[in-house]
Amino acid sequence: MNQSLAYITILVDDYDKAINFYTQKLNFILIEDTKISDTKRWVLVKPNGINSCCLLLAKAANKQQEIFIGNQSGGRVFLFLITDDFERGYQNLIHNNITIERKPRDESYGKVVVFRDIFGNLWDLIAPND
């Protein structure tokens, strides 16, 4: 059986702010932005890589969902972005004033830095060892 992960939902407070951050700051690609209703859109973005999983940017629809914006994983690193050029990726974060939570470090699996997106979610930027 051949399976793959297609989408991961990220709760956001504003579609356009989210699209701008992921496409302009992290250099993701906007795959789709379809209006479903006056308050709901189907918005997909993905990293610029082969076979990348898409993020489904979902605007919180009620107070219960709003509570989890930026804390979908209970304060742990939520998403892991793999790069083939750590220095370029790290400098992109710095250039775009993205909050660095933990300085770059070498780990057994590769070089990593923890950053926070504009909603508060923690990410790892990782350059795996060969």
Mean pLDDT of 101-112: 97
85 assigned to some structural domain: yes
Domain match, 56 and 80 both? no
70 assigned to some structural domain: no
User: 86 and 115 in contact (C-beta within 8 Å)?
Assistant: no
User: 116 and 76 in contact (C-beta within 8 Å)?
Assistant: no
Length of the chain: 130
Model pLDDT, residue 50: 81
123 assigned to some structural domain: yes
Domain match, 105 and 47 both? no
Global pTM? 0.93
CATH number at residue 16: 3.10.180.10
Residue 127, pLDDT above cutoff 90: yes
DSSP 8-class letter at 65: H
User: Residue 84: which domain range?
Assistant: 76-130
Mean pLDDT of the chain: 96
Instruction: Report residue 95 as tokens.
Output: 């250039």
Alpha-carbon gap, residue 31 to 45, rounded angstroms:
5
Model pLDDT, residue 49: 85
CA atoms within 13 Å, Cβ hemisphere of 39: 5
